[in-house]
Structure 1
Amino acid sequence: MKYFSLIILFVFSVISVNAQDVDAKMTAKPKFGAKASLNLANILGDDAGDANTLVGYSVGFFTEIALTETFSIQPEILYSAQGSKSHLFYGGYNFDVTMKLNYINVPVMFKYKAADKFSLEAGPYIGFLTSAKLKLKNSSLGSETEDIKDLIKSTDLGFALGMNYDFTDSIFTNIRYSGGLVEIGNTDSDNNIKNSNLQIGLGIRF
């Protein structure tokens, strides 16, 4: 955890220096904003079973810093509700299983302005697990929720790809896919699961 914290501090220190250079050379100030997205989350991997999409959301803030007229860097901090849904047959009963994984995600996106109002983006992210719950529900037996935070790793690492379309100078829409690069299971076995998340949302620059 200390290693990843140092990485984040280094990235933001580099961003701060770049912002000062850009401001001096291009008189372009960093743009701050907020965004919210619909999450279509899931888990992938050999141990994911019949996992299906869980609808969640993400909200947070970002800073967009111009490096050139066509390239920029955009660090973000997002609260993201992820996880998956599946089914389980046990003891003669069918259960609906919902796994909810909530993260504070910190992506650093590198953006390329491909055309007027349209840009592409790619970059890494690190996620910090805030909570993990598993809910089992049966129409006859009711439901029960268990805390499974000890069974999930506290950090996630991945890579994201996306695109943006600017409706105005302030308002834009974003589509992004984020895929985990590391297994998130924290048990002795059945750990081959990774996060997968498609985000569709809106943002505003202040």
Structure 2
Amino acid sequence: MKKSVFLLVTFAAIAMLAFAAPASAGGGLKAGLTMSTFTGSDADLIGVDPEYRMGFAVGGYINHPLSPTLSFQPEVYYAMKGAKYEDGGESLTFKFTYLQIPLLLKMQPAGSNFFFCGGPDVGINLSAKVEAEAEGISAEEDLDEIKSLDFGLTFGAGVAMEKFSLEARYTIGLTSFDDTTDPDDVKNSGLMFLIGMGL
């Protein structure tokens, strides 16, 4: 129920933002590869360090110019997150999906194709599963004690070529996603490599 409310509020906010966009605002689509992992003092959940879990992200953005070199760029993505643990032929893979909402300031120096961005990143958890595999046998189950909201900071850089762009980003988690009564310090963090197309 909470997730449904969060989704409705998010889509309503995005719709209002789009309709309120000034004539000078632009927008587009982005998609790419995600490499997610866990960070924090308790990230070694089973006694080994987490590895990256590969996934994808797809979404869109609206760009509001603030000055000739600075703009505000809210975005929304469907993004895969999580992490993978391997030890002695056994593996444990955490499979999370989020509605990701970065709220970025974008700076592009005058006359340059290169740009830089950064800002807060809010995630709404859509699903959380864990898959265990040993001796060729695997089993998957849902995780219930995962926080609905996730907060982080995103930083990135890229190059713009007319209507297209290429960029790399890193998001560092600020809050633990563990929603148990005695939560571990474990956060979502990771890399994102995106291709963008302006509309």
Question: Distance between the aligned counterparts of 2:168 and 2:38, measured in 1?
Answer: 19
The SS at the match of 2:41 is coil
Asked if the contact 1:71–1:111 (Cα under 8 Å) also holds between the matched residues in 2, the reply is yes
Q: Which residue in the other structure is 1:118 paired with?
A: 114
Deviations 1:95-142 (A, max 9, x none): 2110011000111111111351111111111100000010001124x0
Q: TM-score, normalised by structure 2?
A: 0.86
Provide, for residues 130-157 of structure 1, a one-character-per-residue CA deviation record: whole Å limited to 9, x for no partner: 00010001124x0000101x12111101
What letter corresponds to residue 41 of structure 2 in structure 1? D
Give 1:175 shift: 0.9
Counterpart AA for 1:107: P
**Partner of residue 136, structure 1:** 132
1:180 aligns with 2:180: no
Q: Which residue of 2 aligns with 1:156?
A: 150
Query: TM-score, normalized by length of structure 1?
Result: 0.83
Decide whether aligned partners of structure 1 residues 154 and 177 sit closer, same or farther in structure 2, where only a CA change above 3 A counts. Answer: same
Secondary structure, in 3 states, of the residue corresponding to 2:97? strand
Q: What displacement does 1:204 show?
A: 0.1
Identify the residue that residue 61 of structure 1 maps to in structure 2: 60
Larger Rg: 1
Aligned mates of 1:72, 1:11 — CA distance in 2? 17
- Identify the range of structure 1 (58-67 vs 182-191) with the bigger mean alpha-carbon deviation: 182-191
Identity %: 28
For residue 158 of structure 1, give the secondary structure of its aligned residue in structure 2. Answer: strand
One-letter amino acid of the counterpart of residue 48, structure 1: A
Structure 1 segments, 4+ long, off by >4 Å, are 5-17
Match among 1, 16, 41 for residue 46 of structure 1: 41
The farther-off stretch of 183-192 and 58-67 is: 183-192
On the 8 A contact 1:40/1:54 being kept in 2, the answer is: yes
Q: How many residues align?
A: 191
Structure whose residues are more often helix by fraction: 1
Q: CA 1:9–1:179 in structure 2 vs 1: closer, same or farther (change >3 Å)?
A: farther
Q: Over aligned residue pairs, what C-alpha RMSD do you find?
A: 2.5
C-alpha deviations, 1:165-195, integer Å up to 9, x for none?
A: 012x200101111111111111133520011
The CA distance in 2 between the partners of 1:170 and 1:32, in whole Å, is 10
Task: Name the counterpart of 2:101.
Answer: 106
Unmatched tracts of structure 1, length 5 or more: none
Cα distance, 1:15 vs. partner? 8.3
What letter corresponds to residue 58 of structure 1 in structure 2?
A
Amino acid at match of 2:35: L
Give unmatched runs, 5+ long, in structure 2: none
Shift of 1:159: 0.9
Worse overlay, 42-51 or 189-198: 189-198
Q: How far is the alpha carbon of 1:31 from its aligned partner?
A: 1.1
Tell me if structure 2 keeps the 8 A contact 1:114–1:120.
Answer: no
**3-state SS of the aligned residue for 2:42?**
coil
- Map of 2:28 onto structure 1: 33
- For residues 67 and 144 of structure 1, what CA distance do their matches in structure 2 show? 50
Change (3 A) 1:64 1:86: same
Aligned partner letter, 2:37: N
Alpha-carbon deviations, 1:3-35, whole Å to 9, x = none?
9x9899789868876x43xx4xxxx2x112000
